Amino acid sequence: MGQILIESLEKIGIKISRKQEEQFDAYQRLLDEWNKVMNLTGITEYSEVVEKHYVDSLSIVKTLDMNQVENVIDVGTGAGFPGLPLKIAFPHLKVTLLDSLNKRIKFLNEVIDELGLEDIHTIHGRAEDYAKDPAYREQYDLCVSRAVANLATLSEYCLPYVRVNGMFVPYKSGEIDEEVQNSKKAVNILGGKIEDVVKFELPGTDIGRSFVKIHKEKNTPKKYPRKAGMPSKEPIR
């Protein structure tokens, strides 16, 4: 099984040690176990987890040199993607995983303990609330998210966490040109600038994915993010 992982990661230029391989394997096992009692993911079979979760999470190396990133927050992490694979593959990273569902946080804490990961912690709550907290606001080199929200909404949740000159890189699927176009005003108001959209297919599949590279150029105005529910109900237009 490990060979599938090693070969798949080599396709995107990532080499892992025996210890990292064991950590990825243990993560998949826990995902499978916990998924039997709660809905974490529709994908638990080993080769699919590797392809659609691990490789997808780590494909950010196509757009950023992760060795230049010190700390990262994963907003709406769910079952830990992309934050946990990033931490396993790049152990130097200091990682924060944020999710609104406590059951998922319990799962993530179990994975962190079982894998013996350090400099990684979970926070339970809404992105809008923690983004107002000085301990988290504008503290990160990089914010990532695989959440499905519209890009204007997602930017309001995520850009407040990014320090000036840091990056916000959402993982998107499907046709996104119009969505990117419609989010430019929101991104700009929130202090960011869309630098690039990197489109690719997951190796060995016909699944189209995109990274939107958003550079934080200035501080996010204090009024953002707006109170809970507003960013999704009334995205900045």
The CATH number that applies at residue 152 is: 3.40.50.150
Taking alpha carbons only, the member of 140, 102, 106, 98 closest to residue 123 is: 98
How does pLDDT run across 1-54, given as a tens digit for each residue? Answer: 678 999 999 999 999 999 999 999 999 999 999 999 998 988 888 888 999 999
Residue 160, in any domain of the structure: yes
- pLDDT score of 123 more than 90: yes
Rounded CA separation 105/98 (Å): 8
Range of the domain at 119: 65-233
Q: Is a pLDDT exceeding 70 seen at residue 199?
A: yes
Q: Identify the three-state secondary structure at position 43.
A: coil
Residues 152-171, mean pLDDT to the nearest whole number: 97
Domain count for the chain, please give it.
Answer: 1
Contact 141, 66 (CB under 8 A): no
Question: 9 in a domain, yes or no?
Answer: no
Mean pLDDT of 86-113: 97
Looking at the domain assignment, is residue 187 inside a domain? yes
- pLDDT of 192 > 80? The answer is yes
Give the angle 48-203-209 at the CA atoms, nearest 5°.
90
Overall average pLDDT of the 73-88 stretch: 97
pLDDT of residue 181: 95
Domain-embedded: residue 109: yes
18 domain-assigned: no
The rounded mean pLDDT for the chain is: 94
Query: Is 184 within the bounds of a domain?
Result: yes
Could you give the percent of the chain with pLDDT greater than 90? 85
Residues 6+ apart with CB under 8 A from 17: none
Residue 158 lies in a domain: yes
Cis upstream peptide for 170 (omega within 30°): no
What confidence tens digit (pLDDT) does each residue in 215-236 have?
A: 999 999 999 999 988 998 999 9
- Is 142 within the bounds of a domain? yes
Is pLDDT above 90 for 177? yes
Tokens of 47: 């080769």
